[in-house]
Chain A
Amino acid sequence: MSDYLRTERLTLGYGDTVAVRDLDMSVAKGEFLALLGPSGCGKTTTMRAVAGLLAPRGGKIWLDGVDITRLAANRRQIGLVFQSYALFPHLSVFENVAFGLRLKGLGGAALDRKVAEGLTTVGLESFAGRKIPELSGGQQQRVALARSMVMQPKLLMLDEPLSNLDARLRLEMRAQLQRVQKETGVTMIFVTHDQGEALAMADRIVVMRAGQIEQVGTPEQIYNAPASPFVADFVGFETILEVEGGRLKTAGGPVSLAGLDASVAALAWRPDGVRLGEGPFSGVVRGVSFAGATRQYLLETRLGPIKVEASAALMPRALGEIVAFDLPLETAAKVGTG
């Protein structure tokens, strides 16, 4: 069940470079999976290999119980929404969506109905006759989505689906993607470098780094219990201190912390997890920025630079001021616990 799509020791590369090494990944049927990682981590390469656009150097890919490693891309029944949308500029919206259906031999009223359904799903039912260059970026993306969806693919993949949209459209598209996924139950993988998107949309997240998987988990697991300092950093923990011999390893030497669990690899705090104004540590304010409900400070401390977020209702601190702060255990994420 959880092996609807499975890669086994998948190794990919271009020319002399190896982009992905021995990747084992599995996706359940109907799941909404995010492939998260910084640019160059191999996530888009992985997606292209699954789609059949890149031949693997080694390993296998299974989809729905069938080994598709050597299957031609046009027979895999996998949909892909490209980051650039890759719409056919010489065809109307209708013909773009109808493209794959026509190749399947569909025509006449059946074709019209399918295309209309597809366009309705993405809210573009009145755009059938439009030309592609007349559409906005958001509309083009929805056409690309409809074009893939009408094929009823076994798997739909989206490459950075939100990165070319402005902030407001991004929220709209997020909701639309989630709705389409829930309504149709299609298995969906989306590739992103934005942890916020991955956390907000995915059922499960695969975090990649340098061609390998760093962590797999639900958004809660990734957010609250990052498996490595890399993942912690990637999901917004600004202060990450390794644990060595029962003490915190810092720029200014080891620091003891009461109640510290010596079995974890590191402790990590988000800016809002650091308590300002009281505690055993002190630092000099080197930066202040106002962020509406909160104020963010950059402190120079003997532990290294530390970012703190405090309620804007509190008295503002001045640059150069020496302030006390605490790194409470209860707000810390335990990084790399078994």
Chain B
Amino acid sequence: MRVALGLVLLFLIGPFAVIVAASLSAGETLAFPPQGLSLRWVEKVFEVESFRASFVLSLTLAIGATSAALALGVPAAYALARYKVPFAEILRLIVASPLLVPGIVVGLALLRYLVVPLRFPIVLALFLAHTALILPYALRVVSASLANLRPEIEEAAVLLGASRAGAFFRVVAPNIRDGVLAAMVLGFVTSFNQVPVSLFLSGPGVETLPIDMLGYLEITYDPSVAALSTLLAALSLAIVLIAERFLGLTRYV
């Protein structure tokens, strides 16, 4: 039992430990075990111009796509929970489809049928693709918190003098707040770490951070990519830990 648990942990944490160690290397190439210890590659990360640009794009994209997905997902979840929506199950399936279809297919399809023939701006295509990828999370997580809420509490609010909209904002919104925040965190992390879809929707000057890293690695084989990975993993971990601490994120996933 213990051995099995140890192996699972090693399997999960091992690669991460290797990358952290490699990023602290003093040597010139990406290698494990590291040759000597230094922070020079961590410093290098902040000096690479393209990393800065792609970081800003990734950040903007993650925030924009998450907001858009929530703006669509919250009303959709509400409608599905409260009203008899025709073909509700099929609708759920369609919304969930970006999760089921391989990212490569989604990315290629968007490139082939949107960007190339319609001369669709790449940034906009990235934004649409990421929104579609996050939407299933937004819908599922918000639906889960709505399921715990009795529809009568809105009627009770109305009978106490609230309007329909007032009832939503006064008694529904505060009760699904945690779910919405959880969806936000999940959406942000999903978009920020997204590779397969973004791969097809990158071009000169338009690269998300993970794609930029991939490209960098093909040309330069130094430990700065490991250093950047370590920084990003630490950032994601921090976000998830904070979310777990305050929202109990694991309830939703």
Secondary structure at chain B's binding surface: helix, strand, loop or mixed? helix
Is A82 in contact with B160, judged by CB distance below 8 angstroms? no
Which residue in B152, B158, B160 is a CB contact (below 8 Å) of A151? Answer: B160
Is A74 in contact with B162, judged by CB distance below 8 angstroms? yes
Chain B residues near A87: list those with CB within 8 A: 153, 156
- In angstroms, Cα B158 to Cα A80, docked, is 10
Kindly identify, within residues 49 to 75 of chain A, every residue whose CB is under 8 Å from any CB belonging to chain B.
51-53, 73-75
B150 at the interface (CB under 8 A from A): yes
Chain A residues near B205: list those with CB within 8 A: none
* Count, chain B residues at interface, CB 8 A: 18
A84 at the interface (CB under 8 A from B): yes
Q: Looking at the assembled complex, report how far the CB atom of A49 sits from the nearest CB atom of chain B, in whole angstroms.
A: 13
Is A73 in contact with B159, judged by CB distance below 8 angstroms? yes
Kindly identify, within residues 65 to 120 of chain A, every residue whose CB is under 8 Å from any CB belonging to chain B.
73-76, 78-80, 82, 84, 86-90, 99-100, 103-104
Per-residue CB contact flags for chain B residues 159-182 toward chain A (1 = under 8 Å, else 0) read 111110010001100110000000
- In angstroms, Cα B158 to Cα A138, docked, is 23
* Count, chain A residues at interface, CB 8 A: 25
- The listed residue with most B CB atoms (<10 A of its CB), out of A53, A86, A87, is A86
- In angstroms, Cα B162 to Cα A48, docked, is 17
Which residue in B150, B159, B161, B163 is a CB contact (below 8 Å) of A51? Answer: B159
Chain B residues near A74: list those with CB within 8 A: 158-163
Q: A76-B159, A79-B159, A88-B153 are in contact. List 9 more A-B contacts (CB 8 A).
A: A52-B159, A74-B161, A80-B159, A86-B150, A99-B157, A103-B160, A147-B156, A148-B160, A151-B160
Q: Looking at the assembled complex, report how far the CB atom of B157 sits from the nearest CB atom of chain A, in whole angstroms.
A: 7
B43 at the interface (CB under 8 A from A): no
Chain B residues near A78: list those with CB within 8 A: 159
Is B161 in contact with A90, judged by CB distance below 8 angstroms? no
Chain B residues near A147: list those with CB within 8 A: 156, 160
Q: Taking CB as reference atom, which chain B residue is nearest A15? A: B84
Chain A interface (Cβ within 8 Å of chain B)? 51-53, 73-76, 78-80, 82, 84, 86-90, 99-100, 103-104, 144, 147-148, 151
Chain B residues near A88: list those with CB within 8 A: 153, 156-157, 171, 175
- In angstroms, Cα B152 to Cα A80, docked, is 11
Chain A residues near B170: list those with CB within 8 A: 99
Chain A residues near B166: list those with CB within 8 A: 103
Which residue in A82, A99, A103, A151 is a CB contact (below 8 Å) of B155? Answer: A82
- In angstroms, Cα B160 to Cα A79, docked, is 7
Chain B residues near A90: list those with CB within 8 A: 171, 174-175
- In angstroms, Cα B162 to Cα A151, docked, is 13
Is A82 in contact with B162, judged by CB distance below 8 angstroms? no
- In angstroms, Cα B150 to Cα A231, docked, is 34
Q: Looking at the assembled complex, report how far the CB atom of B158 sits from the nearest CB atom of chain A, in whole angstroms.
A: 5
Is A84 in contact with B160, judged by CB distance below 8 angstroms? no
Known A-B contacts A86-B150, A89-B175, A90-B174; A80 and B156 likewise in contact (beta carbons under 8 Å): yes
Q: Looking at the assembled complex, report how far the CB atom of A54 sits from the nearest CB atom of chain B, in whole angstroms.
A: 10
- In angstroms, Cα B161 to Cα A227, docked, is 40
Known A-B contacts A53-B155, A86-B150, A86-B153; A100 and B160 likewise in contact (beta carbons under 8 Å): yes
Q: Top 5 closest A-B pairs, CB basis?
A: A100-B160, A86-B152, A86-B156, A103-B161, A90-B174
Known A-B contacts A86-B153, A87-B153; A73 and B175 likewise in contact (beta carbons under 8 Å): no
Is B160 in contact with A99, judged by CB distance below 8 angstroms? yes
Is B150 in contact with A84, judged by CB distance below 8 angstroms? yes
Chain B residues near A79: list those with CB within 8 A: 159
Q: Looking at the assembled complex, report how far the CB atom of B142 sits from the nearest CB atom of chain A, in whole angstroms.
A: 16
15 A–B contacts from the bound complex (CB under 8 Å): A73-B155, A75-B161, A80-B156, A82-B156, A84-B150, A86-B152, A86-B156, A87-B156, A89-B149, A90-B174, A99-B160, A100-B161, A103-B162, A148-B160, A151-B160
